Structures are given as structure tokens and as C-alpha cells.
Homo-oligomer: A and B are copies of this chain.
Amino acid sequence: MFKELNPILHSQLRLAIMSILISVEEAEFNYLKEKTGATAGNLSVQVDKLKKAGYITVTKTYKNNYPLTICAKTRKGIDAFEEYVMALKSYLQKPN
């Protein structure tokens, strides 16, 4: 009846991060921070969890002498996101 909800994605901030990354090629740490409204600390932790799950890649580089962290979705991340959306639907469907 109810499908399992992937706990890595069933988190407001991680879901927001993935949602953004699904729609763009890649995103800077600060872009994610602004769009989600998260604190840097929280974002850092959740980005790391998504990376460890293999759902995103995290590339560390420099821009204008400052550290720059760039995130991008992986195939595995896309698949997990889509499966999560499907699973969620089993909870939201209104039986008419």
C-alpha cells in the first residue's frame, strides 16, 4: 500500500537541494544556501550526506581567491529522486 520513503531524500533541506540540482547543470554552495534559506553549517552537513549517498558530486575549487564548492546531481541521484516522488504519490493520492 505505502511505499518506503528514502530517508536520505525525506528531509526538507536535502530534498530542496536535490530539487534545485535536478533543474540545473550545477550549483554553487552559496546559490544553494540562498535558494534554500539554510544556514551554511546545516547545508554543509546535508550536502555531505547527499555526496556520501552518491546522489551528488561535490567539487572544490577557487573563484577570485575564495574557496568555491560546486554541486551537481548524479545519475543515481536522479533515479533516487524520481523513485522518491513516485513513492510519495502513494501517500498523497486522494481516492475519489
Main secondary structure of the interface of A (DSSP, over half): helix
Q: Is the CB of A94 within 8 A of B22?
A: yes
**Contacting residues, chain B, for A37 (C-beta < 8 A):** 2
A88 to chain B, nearest CB (A): 7
Q: Is A40 an interface residue (CB 8 A)?
A: no
Interchain CA distance A12-B10 in the complex, whole Å: 8
Q: How many residues on the A side are at the interface (Cβ–Cβ under 8 A)?
A: 20
- Tell me which of B4, B19, B23, B92 contacts A85 (CB under 8 A): B92
Q: Write the A1-27 contact mask toward B (1 if CB under 8 angstroms, else 0).
A: 110110000101001100100110000
Q: Contacts A10-B12, A92-B88 hold; do A19 and B35 have CB atoms under 8 A apart?
A: no
